[in-house]
Amino acid sequence: MQANPAPRKTLLIDRDGTLIHEPSGTFQVNSLEELRLLPGVITALHRLSCAGYDLIFVSNQDALGTAQNPRENYEYLNDKLFALLGGEGIEFAAVFTCPHIPADGCACRKPGTGMVDAYLRRKPLLLSDSFMVGDRGTDGRFAGNLGIPAFLLDSETHPDEDRTLSVEQKLWTWPELAHYILQRPRCSRLARKTKETDISIELNLDAPDGQGRYQIATGLHFFDHMLEQLSRHGGMDLSISCKGDLEIDAHHTVEDVALALGQAFADALGDKRGIVRYSWERVLVMDEVRCEISIDLSGRPYVVFDADFPRPAAGDLPTEMVEHFFVSFCSAAKINLHLHCHSGHPDHPGKGLKPNTHHMVEACFKALARCLKDAVRREGTGISSTKGLL
């Protein structure tokens, strides 16, 4: 059985008024002399291509193939346009053109999706990270029919287009939209319901001020306190609600929250382009406790967890569930983690120091938070792997 194709980050892009200027009199580019790129389009498309977006060309061309709009002329101008963009490393994965007029009632003309339906069944959109770029209301409605946002450009020819169809209800320039797409907060939402737990999570890895805001309720007060440490010290906004079978014990609640949070973390990171990936030899101290931690967002989950807690519980959280949280979270988030938490320095243990269980558990969560904050930091657009993916 053939596996379902993986969804892809995609930009669907109109031509006239979007890639090139559209003459106000004819609404049609008829000669090479009229072929002019919009400001900033090459730099923006190059940045977006380097960030891993597939580029798809989708254009309505009224009466294409008639004397009014000769196909030879259209193809000639397109060849020149694609050659110009290709010289800057910008390639389109597919090119689609509707040759009809509105009166034809065809299925392929935007805002209908007939032009791209078959293609997108083979190469589906990653809905959380795909966009339409155009200059008309038909482009906005086309995006809506595909279930993705639209960026409508500030058009000389169509200045009164409906802003409500565009991201943030505004008209954009190419530099603005490229910056918005590449620097927007990395967010995810997840709901997970089983016979044992009912969980909802909202995560933003890029809290606006880097402080991390949280709203957490799992029914386990000490566990809530630890998840708050992840949010605040990891610089991520985090909302978690869990209704679990605590009348049995804490196991299902802690395990399922860890799995759901790990999946939400992986979803927010996406293809991991541009991230630092590693955080190593981090040392975090909390009074008598010293926690050493290193992580790799490698896509290969593996955990080494070395911590002996003096007491069986910290508050209402069984300490045996602390390691299980780390293993479950890293399994879902596909993280390699090594953690060692002890009283004093491992080579020179403090004489007479008795580690506090609360301190040890909290140091583990704070250390994880600081490492995640370091490893997800964006420093470019490439993937930190010779394999080309993480």
Residues composing the chain? 390
- Sign, Cα dihedral of 119, 124, 127, 131: negative
SS (H, E, C) the chain: CCCCCCCEEEEEECCECCCECCCCCCCCCCCHHHCCECCCHHHHHHHHHHCCCEEEEEEECCCECECCECHHHHHHHHHHHHHHHHCCCCCCCEEEEECCCHHHCCCCCCCCCCCCHHHHHHCCEEEEEEEEEECCHHHHHHHHHHCCCEEEECCCCCCCCCHHHCHHHCEECHHHHHHHHHHCCCEEEEEEECCCEEEEEEEECCCCCCCCCEEEECCCHHHHHHHHHHHHHHCCEEEEEEEECCCCCCHHHHHHHHHHHHHHHHHHHCCCCCECCEEEEEEEEECCEEEEEEEECCCCCEEEEEECCCCCEECCEECHHHHHHHHHHHHHHCCEEEEEEEECECCECCCCCCCCHHHHHHHHHHHHHHHHHHHCCECCCCCCCCCCCC
Catalytic residues: 14, 16
Torsion angle, alpha carbons of 28, 154, 273, 213, to 10 = -160
Residue whose tokens read 């209402």: 316
Contact 185, 202 (CB under 8 A): no
- The strand pair at 187-193 and 125-134 is best described as unpaired
Which residues share a beta bridge with 237?
204
Tokens standing for 187? Answer: 């967010």
Residue written as token pair 């569930």? 321
Query: Quick check: 282 and 370 in contact, CB under 8 A?
Result: yes
